[in-house]
Amino acid sequence: MKKKDKNDKESATLTTAGGAPVSDNQNSLTAGERGPILIQDVHLLEKLAHFNRERIPERVVHAKGAGAHGTFTVTNDITKYTKAKIFSEVGKKTDLIVRYSTVAGERGSADTVRDVRGFAVKFYTEEGNWDLVGNNTPVFFVRDPLKFSDFIHTQKREPHTNLRSQTMWWDFWSLVPESLHQVTILFSDRGIPRGFTHMNGYGSHTYSFINAKDERFWVKFHFKTMQGIKNFTQEEADELVGKDPDWATRDLFERIEKGDYPKWELNVQIMPELEAETYQWNPFDLTKVWPHKDYPLIKVGIMELNRNPSNYFTDVEQAAFDPSNIIPGISYSPDKMLQARIFSYADAHRYRLGANYQRLPINQAKAAKVNTYQRDGFMRFDDNGGSSVIYEPNSFGGPKQNPAYKEPPLKISGNADRYNQPTVDDDFIQPGNLYRLLPPDEQDRLIKNMGGSLKTVPKFIQERMLAHILKADSTWGQRIRKELG
């Protein structure tokens, strides 16, 4: 709560939501001094009824989060890859809102748990909102959206005990070997970042850039923390879960409040369109990275967070990030997980916030003009288009399509079918590379963290998981086996 200072005005008269002055906010209206309450105490009824409706559905994933406003500044010219106006000149600034989150826990859950962190950014560009809805990891547990809700169920609560279950986690992961890469990151030091400011953010999916000559490039986005990577050990994190479950939320707020603005350097990896056909990895597989030696990072700009929300509910809880929000010069890719998120994020917001969620102040395009023929619906609280024409084509000057924004065609080939990767062995190479790049002390902690969790689950699941780890790196597998006794 902000303290009252000498410039604050005298308190205004309290009113009902309808604006009528309230004469008494302490004593209900009763029939006689000791009598029951009269139904005509509208102020009381309104208070009780509104209170009952204060909560909106929490996000089914990423429910616990914190956010801040900020600015993106271009530092390097990437106009040869994209015509997106946000990148049109060095020095250009764009306002944004960021929301960080854990994935599995409910809205009141602790910040310092071992979990992936959400890293969602909404850029208010002059050509509409661009949302880069990523995580603090460059990969994900599954590469096909048919598995998404099953995976998330394993992270939630069991139906009978209402408890979280490590058996569900490892059962699923051991049956879905493509998850090993993300599982390795999860049980490494980066599985418990030291708050939100000491972690990287990754767009994770492959997106596309389109330049002024209509050439397409595949692109991966990387936000590198300028505060340096720092993580909690399991022991430090466990202690904070009890002492200060909101540690990361508090840390972000307090840093910004005292002017210690956190910053990230945005980088991209760029792949020319046709290279996707011959590259050794399927560049649209969300369980794989593009090694830096093949696609080095190219600097783009700096994101700085410099303003706390003035109201958490309006600025963060109502913020709706959609990978479907793209702008000219930035587009999608054939990544199956991205294709599903394009639908499911907007769909989740329609359920959570209603059909007009993009008109809420935090979600409104600020620098761009919105011209749609969408009208009406619950909570349409702007002018609803006034008396302007409500259909298209029309003869009355309504907004029209503009073919200048058409994307170049994307070549697609093959038979319609349900495909997995050509060989599952591919799924073990990158987790093995990651294990081998960890310094020895981090390898020790990975083994302790993974082994400690695996120990709690039935033996047949341990054995199935061990077989995958042995394929990724035999020393790593043998060390896990030893840890399991």
Q: Confirm whether 62 is a catalytic residue.
A: yes
Q: If DSSP codes are grouped into helix, strand and coil, which group holds residue 72?
A: strand
| DSSP per-residue string spanning 28-59 | --BSSTTPPBPTT-HHHHHHHHHHHT-PPPPP
Tell me if residue 180 falls in helix, strand or coil: helix
Q: What is the DSSP letter of 318?
A: S
The residue behind tokens 């340096």 is 228
Residue 311 and residue 407: Cα distance in Å, rounded?
39
Q: Which DSSP state fits 337?
A: H
Provide the residue type at 244 as one letter. Answer: D
Nearest one of 103, 97, 99 to 63, comparing CA atoms: 103
User: Which tokens hold the place of 67?
Assistant: 């956010």
Quick check: 309 and 69 in contact, CB under 8 A? yes
SS3 154: helix
Q: Which stretches of the chain bind ligand NDP, using CB under 6 A?
A: 138, 181, 185, 188-190, 200, 222, 289-293, 430, 433-434, 437-438, 442
Q: How far is CA 151 from CA 90, 222, 346, in A?
A: 42, 25, 20
Of 113 and 186, CB closest to ligand NDP: 186
> For 153, phi and psi rounded to 5 degrees?
-55, -35
Q: What is the rounded CA–CA span in Å between residue 299 and residue 278?
A: 26
Set 62, 69, 181, 198: catalytic member: 62
Q: How far is the CB of 304 from ligand NDP (least distance, A)?
A: 19
For ligand NDP, the closer of residues 156 and 224 by Cβ is: 224
Least distance CB 429 / ligand NDP (angstroms): 8
Long-range Cβ contacts of 155-162 (<8 Å, 24+ apart)? 155/103, 155/104, 156/104
Q: Which two tokens stand for residue 478?
A: 């043998």
| Distance of alpha carbon 106 from alpha carbon 101, whole angstroms | 11
Active site residue 135: yes
Question: Of the two residues 367 and 438, which places its CB atom closer to ligand NDP in the complex?
Answer: 438
Catalytic residue among 135, 136, 267, 363: 135
Smallest gap, in angstroms, from Cβ of residue 99 to ligand NDP? Answer: 21
Describe the chain by its helix, strand, coil percentages, rounded to 5. Answer: 30, 15, 50
8 A C-beta contact, residue 60 and residue 102: no
Closer to ligand NDP by CB, 164 or 445: give it: 445
At a CB cut-off of 8 Å and minimum separation 6, what does 113 contact? Answer: 102, 104, 105, 192, 237, 241
Q: Dig out the tokens for 135 from the structure.
A: 């995580």
How many angstroms separate the CA atoms of 231 and 327, rounded? 34
Query: Which residues fall within 8 angstroms of residue 330, CB to CB, at 6 or more apart?
Result: 82, 84, 130, 207, 208, 209, 210, 219
Judged by beta carbon, residue 154 or residue 225, the one nearer ligand NDP is 225
Return d(Cα 101, Cα 478) in angstroms, integer. 34
Nearer to ligand NDP among residue 243 and residue 436 (C-beta): 436
Contacts of residue 42, defined as CB under 8 A and 6 or more positions apart, other chains included, come to 16
- The sign of the torsion formed by the CA atoms of 319, 325, 330, 331 equals positive
**Which residues does the annotation mark as catalytic?**
62, 135
